[in-house]
Structure 1
Amino acid sequence: MFKRFIDFIFQKDRFKVVIIVEPGQSIEIPSKTLVLTKKGNAFTWVRYKCPCGCGELISLSLSPVISPYWSMVISQENSKRQKVTITPSVYMRNTKCCSHYFITENKVIWCK
């Protein structure tokens, strides 16, 4: 119970910010930030730093033309606090940390 309270207070394992950019727009990606690339009406990429803290930049394709690809749902609680869910799980076998997790409403749910 206490651990859940501490995690809630410090928002551990949660993306705090969602930024939407146009293709080709350069942006420095801080920790705990999801950067969504939007071309026209469609989202094409999700980029963020690995939530394990290793610093690896993760890029997930949202386009079925590029394999592998993920699906994304954005629930707009309000315009300032968007919540992102990405499916299926993210398993980065080719990174130094080999993290495996789900992103559900900005929360990172680790696979054991």
Structure 2
Amino acid sequence: MKRTPLWWRRLIAWFTPRRSLIVVEGDTLPKRLPLWSLVMARDDGEDWSVGLRCPCGCGQRLEMILLKGVKPRWDISVDPKGHVSLHPSVWLRDGCKSHFWVKGGKIVWCE
């Protein structure tokens, strides 16, 4: 499978809307994830995981664990304007091999 050039991914990221955060109750994510949003599963006030569709366009469903004590794990933050950030970066070792950050609701591609 041919990878999309980095310059093209960055151009598309510039023009796409900022991603928002949708919180669902329960310890699992819904089967279908929205195109432009991140979805966080929260059960009894505890954040379990966050999911999104791969921003490269391959359609792969990505799920990152937020639970403390689990490795690997991610942290999610929302600024006062409602823009979501995800730390650390997301790096797919298989498939499309995308590597990106979610910062301020925008996708920031890594080299």
What's the TM-score bracket when you normalise by the shorter of the two chains? 0.7 to 0.9
Q: 1:42: which partner in 2?
A: 46
Q: C-alpha distance in 2, partners of 1:108/1:66?
A: 25
Q: C-alpha distance in 1, partners of 2:45/2:96?
A: 34
Runs of 4+ in 1 over 6 A off after TM superposition: none
Q: C-alpha distance in 1, partners of 2:108/2:13?
A: 13
Q: Secondary structure at the residue paired with 2:79?
A: strand
**Backbone CA RMSD of aligned residues:** 2.5
2:29·2:40 contact (CA, 8 Å) conserved in 1? Answer: no
Task: Describe the shift of the 1:87–1:107 C-alpha distance in structure 2 as closer, same or farther (beyond 3 A).
Answer: same
TM-score w.r.t. the length of structure 2 is: 0.76
Q: Does 1:21 align with 2:24?
A: yes
Task: Give the drift of 1:7.
Answer: 6.2
TM-score w.r.t. the length of structure 1 is: 0.76
Unaligned runs of 5+ in 2: 1-9
Task: Give the drift of 1:19.
Answer: 1.1
* Percent identity of equivalent pairs: 31
